[in-house]
Structure 1
Amino acid sequence: MVFSGLCSFCKRHKWKLATVSIVCTGGYVGYKCLRGWLEKYRDEQTTAQMESLRMLQSFETNMSTCNNMIISLLQEVRSAVNEQLNSKKITASLKSKPTNKVELWNELKIISFAQYLVVGYACSMLVVFLRVQMSILGGVMCHNNDSEIDPVISEDTEKKFLSIAQYNVTKGIAKFIEVAKRVVVSETDRYSLKHSLSHNELCGLLGTLQKQLLTSLLTIVDSSSSDDEQDMTPLINFMIDKDKATTTPTAEPQYQMLMDVTLDILESKECQYILKHTINGSFSQLSSIMTNGFLSASQSLSTANVPVARVIPLLSDVAHSVLGDNVVESYMVQELLSHNQLRLLSYNIFEAVAN
């Protein structure tokens, strides 16, 4: 009786029961699919986060290594500046009261202004170059670790690529110092040792020297280059030996690839903008140090004037405060090492090469 009633109920509502069955079955299947998709999505997110964390850890290690290289090579920059812009030797000669005292003081004038320029430019150029170089190399090494095939570069190629930074602190800076000295002679020749400068006049002169040096580099490197004073591309010629980088048809492909990528990045608009920004920041730091020294020498920034003869040791002290016995303690160097825009550029390079 119960069974016949149940059969009768099923016959009367068979379409409703079929619909309910289909909906329930579809819901169950949909639930299983959604659950599977969510689990897959969660696994993918976890993997991506772990990969991002691993990438960040590799990048931080790379930046730490780069910082050590920067500090080490800044010591070589200091040695080059002290050797080619040697004020101590002239100062020692002046103590013996020579007959050419005025000539020696004028030479000291050229050296002190050149030291100021070289420190501002050379430190910034070195830091930007090493950040780019180490980010490229770090990205390649990170890719090597992930690759199941042969490494992208060999150990010998790695060492050869790292060695190109030596040009920056040897031939590159030597050429740069020569240009800086010529610019200083041209712009300061009209100022005698007794000529007095106010703080504003001294700041204006230093700013003119900074811009005029870049203009001179544009002319020297390529007479057909743009006259835009914001163009930083001439500086690349003092950071890397472009002749060897671009004219080595017999070079091994791995090494040539690294050199091509380095040049492409250094010549990119983004890198040029950051190089300009770091240089301006460095000169801003140098200007602050100079202002403090000027205030100590004159007791006033607005009314007092200081003769050029007293500006000479002031500028030398500014240079030595940055490239002193302990470079790492220099506030300007610390600012360069922690430069946010340069760090972001480095990470973008590292990530792009690693992937």
Structure 2
Amino acid sequence: MLGRLRNFVKNNWKKVLFGGIGGYVFVGLTRLAANRYLTYQETRSRSLLRSIKKQQLFEMMEENYITTFRTWFELMKENIKRNLNAEKVTDMLKKGHGQKYENWMELKMVAFTNILSLVYGSAMLSLLIRIQVNVISGLLFKQMEEVPPGLEDFGGAGDGLGPRRITDDLQQKYMSLTRYLCTKGMDGLCSYIYETAHGVVSRLSLKQKFTVADVEQMFQIIKDQKLNEDSKKVGVQDWHPIKDAYRYMFSEELIKRYILPQEACIKTETDEEKFLRTVMCETHDLIEAEDAKTILQFLETLGLNHYLDKISEFLYSFPQAVDSDASRISEEYGSTDPPLESELGEPAAPLAKLIPIMNAFIELETADDPWANTLLTNESLRSFSANVYESYCSKQLDA
């Protein structure tokens, strides 16, 4: 048996040699393919798990955004009411205190300022919170990937992250932008809109009848106005709520400390302060980006149309057809837009009847406010925030 095998190998040594080599190569390739397949499956599983975790965190932070927005939206409305104080003026009219004419003039100013402040303020608030929540959630996701298991409660000890860990203290300092917008920022915004509207609305007669088109044109005229020198002298800043939106979110102190810091301050910063400055600067850049300004302009239009629809619902309780005053309004205030022509039978009401309706919008509870719900479900904002989140999930911040 062995002799025959030896003779076979001797007579067919080339076949045996190449067959052995072929078998060895085949086995090697089979093992390599199996290893590659296992590696591919492992990589695919990790990628799928990463996507699931990323989506879960995004959805969780979406719920957090809704709660956060409603809380700050209520505070923002309280500050608008405190600044404009329509309720106090209304009580004075009911009780017969003060000058009746002057009180009505004040209510007239407040009515237009209320709506514009609410539209601009809520648009900036929703954009800012969207940015903040998704910056934090993106960094938290990156942090979860980088911190080894078992070290989560030790601030990333031993992982080299140090101050890059998004602590509660860092989050509170970062979210101070929202508090500033809802307090000091709204003080400045209400003053800006009130003074801008003053030269336009103060000349309107309470008996003058308005259609929805007339009210819309008044809003457009106010939006196109510039502050006069007298307004600037009393400390009202000429900051447009879309072009200069960041001014209502960043205090002068924060701008000097984080956005435009002196070289000496940068050299003495701690690692945590450097990290916070980086996040603040990038938030400022996001707010100043064209995408953000486009969203604010879209929300401006959406908000005004929302309140014009509500005014229209009220006007349809007046069945009589009236003539529009749009042509006279355009001539009186120098509008460059062509006069808005009223359709036959379009309802109208005296301005004195519209004022209480316009001032009532600010009194709605946040949970029942359709405008708040519109902002919460707006797809443009959600898409913008998703892009911010995706960017920060893989972003490397220098500390």
TM-score scaled to structure 2, two decimals? Answer: 0.75
Distance 1:164 1:339 in 2: 22
Distance 1:238 1:99 in 2: 34
Taking structure 1 as reference, are residues 348 and 151 closer, same or farther at Cα in structure 2, changes over 3 Å only?
A: farther
Distance 1:347 1:172 in 2: 26
Distance 2:98 2:173 in 1: 51
Matched-pair contact (CA < 8 Å) for 1:221–1:234:
no
More displaced 10-residue stretch of structure 1: 253-262 or 293-302: 293-302
Shift in Å at residue 118 of structure 1?
Answer: 0.7
Note if 1:330 corresponds to 2:343: no
Note if 1:308 corresponds to 2:329: no
Q: In structure 1, what residue type is equivalent to 2:104? A: W
Matched-pair contact (CA < 8 Å) for 2:131–2:283:
yes
Shift in Å at residue 138 of structure 1?
Answer: 2.3
Distance 1:99 1:145 in 2: 62
Note if 1:188 corresponds to 2:187: no
Distance 2:228 2:31 in 1: 69
Distance 1:96 1:330 in 2: 30
Shift in Å at residue 164 of structure 1?
Answer: 2.8
Note if 1:282 corresponds to 2:325: no
Q: In structure 2, what residue type is equivalent to 1:342? A: L
Gaps of 5+ in 2: 148-158, 322-341, 395-399
Shift in Å at residue 170 of structure 1?
Answer: 0.8
Shift in Å at residue 212 of structure 1?
Answer: 4.0
Taking structure 1 as reference, are residues 21 and 85 closer, same or farther at Cα in structure 2, changes over 3 Å only?
A: same
Shift in Å at residue 6 of structure 1?
Answer: 9.5
SS in 1 for 2:204: coil
Residue number in structure 2 paired with 1:239? 249
TM-score scaled to structure 1, two decimals? Answer: 0.84
Q: RMSD over aligned Cα, in angstroms?
A: 3.2
Residue number in structure 2 paired with 1:347? 386
Residue number in structure 1 paired with 2:109? 110
Distance 2:39 2:368 in 1: 50
Taking structure 1 as reference, are residues 213 and 24 closer, same or farther at Cα in structure 2, changes over 3 Å only?
A: farther
Match of 2:294 among 269, 273, 277: 273
Residue number in structure 1 paired with 2:143? 144
| Larger helix fraction of residues | 1
Shift in Å at residue 127 of structure 1?
Answer: 1.0
Matched-pair contact (CA < 8 Å) for 2:212–2:311:
no
Alignment of 1:110-259 (within 5 A): 110-146=109-145, 147=147, 148-149=159-160, 150-152=162-164, 153-212=166-225, 220-221=237-238, 232-247=242-257, 248=261, 249=265, 252-259=273-280
Total equivalences in the alignment? 342
Matched-pair contact (CA < 8 Å) for 2:306–2:371:
yes
Taking structure 1 as reference, are residues 133 and 163 closer, same or farther at Cα in structure 2, changes over 3 Å only?
A: same
Gaps of 5+ in 1: 223-228
More displaced 10-residue stretch of structure 1: 253-262 or 22-31: 22-31
Deviations 1:116-157 (A, max 9, x none): 101111111111111111222222333333333335144433
Shift in Å at residue 23 of structure 1?
Answer: 4.5
Alignment of 1:65-80 (within 5 A): 65-80=64-79
Shift in Å at residue 180 of structure 1?
Answer: 0.7
SS in 1 for 2:349: strand
Shift in Å at residue 9 of structure 1?
Answer: 9.4
Aligned residues with identical type, % of pairs = 19
SS in 2 for 1:232: coil
Distance 2:248 2:76 in 1: 13
SS in 2 for 1:105: helix
Q: In structure 2, what residue type is equivalent to 1:135? A: N
